[in-house]
C-alpha cells in the first residue's frame, strides 16, 4: 500500500506544479525511450499510454495501415517494406533473392569472414542469434547492410559497413537447447535508412502466424552436403508448423521420443529440400503482414537449429520473437539511457 501511496503523491505533486508530460503520450510499444517514473514531468498521460521522449523508429505490426504505404521518402516508409524486383527475378532461380529485396537483411563478419545473418530493427541495432555473436569480441565484428553477393570484390557505394559498439545477449540463453537464443548488436553509428536499407517490423506479444507460409532469407548452405555457404542471398518459402505437430515430428528424429520443444521456439519447414541450413543462423523468419500488403513483412523468428537441412517432415526451429518483444524494447531503452 505504501508504494501506491507514494506514486499517488508524486502524481499529485506533478499535477499541482503543472509539470505533466513534456514530451509525447504514446502506447508503450511505440515508445523507444520512456521517461522514468521518478521524473515528475513523466506523469500526466492517460492509461495505458506512457510519457515518451523518443518515438520508436520502427512500426509495430498492429499499427501498420494502408496509408503508411503512401508516404514518400525512405525515411518515412514503414518497417518491413520489401523491394520486389520481378523483372530481375526472371533471371534468378526461385530460391534466390534479388538485390535489395529484403532491405532489413544484414550480414555479420568476423575478421573479414562471414559469420551470421541478422536483421535491422532500428538504424543502429541489429537482431540476431545469441549462438553466433555471444562468444565473439565486438572488436572483431563488422556489420554490412545492403549486401547481396558475398563473394563479390566490387566497390559498391550502396553497401555500408558499421563497427560494433556493444553485444547484448539474452541472460537465459542455453546453447545446448537453443532456448532464449537471441541477441542485440548495437552499432557505433546508425545506418542511414534509404530504399535498400530499412528496418523490419517486430511482432506484438502473442502474435501467431500458424497456418501461414513465411520466408527465411540468408547466406547459409543450400543443402547439408555443400562445403560452402551461398554466395548470393537465398530466400525460401516455408510453412509455419504448429507446436504439437513439430514436437511429434522432432521426436521421430535422433532427438528421441522424450524430446519436448522448448516454449521459446517455434517451427517452420518440413518440406523436402526447402530449409534454412548451416550458416543461416541469426537470419530472420518473416511473414507478410496481411493479404492486402503482400510486400510488408513482420519478423516472427530467428534461425535457431535443425536436424540436417531440407528433410521431409522434419521442421527447423526458430526463436519465437513474439515472446521477446518486451525484452527487446527494454534493452533498447537501457542502452539509450546509458549512453
For residue 313, give the CATH number of its domain.
Answer: 2.40.10.10
75 found inside a domain: no
231 found inside a domain: yes
20 found inside a domain: yes
Per-residue tens of pLDDT for the chain, all 339 residues: 443 333 333 333 333 333 456 667 777 766 655 665 433 344 567 777 777 655 554 433 333 332 232 233 344 557 999 998 766 766 677 889 989 999 999 999 999 999 999 999 999 999 999 999 999 999 999 999 999 998 766 555 568 999 999 999 999 999 999 999 999 999 999 999 998 999 999 998 888 898 899 999 999 988 777 667 778 999 999 999 999 999 999 999 999 999 999 999 999 999 999 999 999 999 999 999 865 557 899 999 999 999 999 999 999 999 999 999 999 999 988 665 555
User: Which grid coordinates are listed for 22?
Assistant: 513534456
Residues 138 and 160 in one domain: yes
Which of 189, 201, 133, 129 is closest to 160 using CA atoms? 189
Residues 306 and 260 in one domain: yes
DSSP, collapsed to helix, strand or coil, labels residue 109 as strand
76 found inside a domain: no
Per the listing, cell 527494454 goes with 330
Q: DSSP assignment of 117-186, as one string?
A: EEEEEETTEEEE-HHHHTTS-GGGEEEEES--BTT-----TT-EEEEEEEEEE-TT-BTTTTBT--EEEE
What contacts 280, CB < 8 A, 6 or more positions away?
Answer: 117, 216, 218, 219, 220, 221, 234, 303
In whole angstroms, give the CA distance from residue 266 to residue 277.
16
Q: Quote the number of domains for the chain.
A: 3
- Domain around 36: 2-55
89 found inside a domain: no
92 found inside a domain: no
**pTM assigned to the model:** 0.76
Amino acid at each position: 500500500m505504501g508504494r501506491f501511496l507514494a506514486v499517488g503523491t508524486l502524481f499529485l505533486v506533478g499535477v499541482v506544479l503543472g509539470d505533466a508530460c513534456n514530451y509525447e503520450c504514446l502506447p508503450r510499444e511505440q515508445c523507444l525511450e520512456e521517461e522514468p517514473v521518478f521524473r515528475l514531468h513523466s506523469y500526466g498521460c492517460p492509461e495505458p499510454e506512457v510519457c515518451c521522449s523518443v518515438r520508436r523508429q520502427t512500426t509495430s505490426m498492429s499499427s501498420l495501415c494502408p496509408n503508411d504505404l503512401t508516404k514518400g521518402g525512405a525515411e518515412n516508409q514503414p518497417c518491413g517494406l520489401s523491394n520486389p524486383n520481378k523483372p530481375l527475378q526472371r533471371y534468378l532461380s526461385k530460391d534466390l533473392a534479388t538485390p535489395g529485396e529484403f532491405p532489413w537483411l544484414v550480414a555479420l563478419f568476423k575478421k573479414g569472414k562471414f559469420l551470421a545473418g541478422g536483421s535491422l530493427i532500428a538504424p543502429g541495432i541489429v537482431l540476431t542469434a545469441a549462438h553466433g555473436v555471444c562468444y565473439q569480441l565486438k572488436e572483431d565484428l563488422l556489420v554490412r547492410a545492403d549486401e547481396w553477393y558475398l563473394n563479390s570484390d566490387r566497390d559498391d557505394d550502396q553497401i555500408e559497413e558499421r563497427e560494433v559498439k556493444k553485444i547484448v545477449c539474452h541472460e537465459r540463453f542455453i546453447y545446448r537447447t537453443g532456448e532464449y537464443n537471441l541477441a542485440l548488436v548495437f552499432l557505433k553509428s546508425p545506418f542511414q535508412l534509404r530504399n535498400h536499407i530499412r528496418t523490419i517490423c517486430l511482432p506484438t506479444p502473442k502474435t501467431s502466424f500458424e497456418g501461414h507460409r513465411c520466408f527465411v532469407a540468408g547466406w547459409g548452405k543450400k543443402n547439408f552436403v555443400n562445403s560452402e555457404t551461398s554466395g548470393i542471398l537465398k530466400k525460401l518459402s516455408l510453412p509455419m508448423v504448429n507446436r504439437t505437430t513439430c514436437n511429434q515430428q522432432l521426436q521421430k528424429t535422433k532427438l528421441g521420443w522424450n524430446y519436448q520443444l522448448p516454449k521459446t521456439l517455434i517451427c517452420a519447414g518440413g518440406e523436402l529440400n526447402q530449409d534454412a541450413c548451416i550458416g543461416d543462423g541469426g537470419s530472420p523468419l518473416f511473414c507478410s503482414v496481411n493479404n492486402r500488403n503482400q510486400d510488408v513483412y513482420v519478423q516472427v523468428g530467428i534461425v535457431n537449429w535443425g536436424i540436417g537441412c531440407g528433410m521431409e517432415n522434419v521442421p527447423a526451429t526458430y526463436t519465437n520473437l513474439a515472446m521477446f518483444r518486451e525484452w527487446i524494447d527494454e534493452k533498447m531503452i537501457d542502452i539509450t539511457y546509458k549512453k
